Amino acid sequence: MWLSQLSASQRLALLDLAHNVVVSDGLLDPGEEGMLSEFKAEMGLPDSHETGYLPLDGLAETFPDRRSRVVAIINLLQLSYADGAFEVEEECLLKEISRLFAFSEEEFLLLDNWVRRWLVLQREAMGFMA
């Protein structure tokens, strides 16, 4: 969501951060794989594009403005819910990224709440189409 607003280097970094989130709980769920494919499609990258681990050092410099940071956190939160559960390892990683982005705990919780409500609306819309 809103991935087109990121620079090319931010898109690649976000994909690697997504990899960090997906492997943080030790399981790769089909829902997470599907969401990674959606990210790649929205970014105009082939599904075969490889992702890898991204160290968090320097992350704030890669995403220097609030807009890119919000886009990153929203998409990573959405990914963390792709398997139906927000695992503690995913939550810890996303909270660390949020701290590096200078978001307060309250801001993180607001973004998390927004993503959860968005996911409910997406499921509701899919029900209309069934």
Q: Tell me the pTM.
A: 0.93
- Domains of the chain by start residue, with CATH: 3-129 (1.10.3680)
CA distance linking residue 26 with residue 9, whole number of Å: 26
Q: Coil, helix or strand for 18?
A: helix
Q: List, run by run, the mean pLDDT of 10-residue segments along the chain (130 residues).
A: 93 95 82 89 89 93 98 96 87 97 98 96 93
The token pair that represents 95 in the structure block: 């909270």
Q: Give whole-number Cα distances, 68 to 5, 7, 22, 98, in Å.
A: 7, 9, 20, 12
Q: Is the Cβ–Cβ distance between 17 and 75 less than 8 Å? A: no
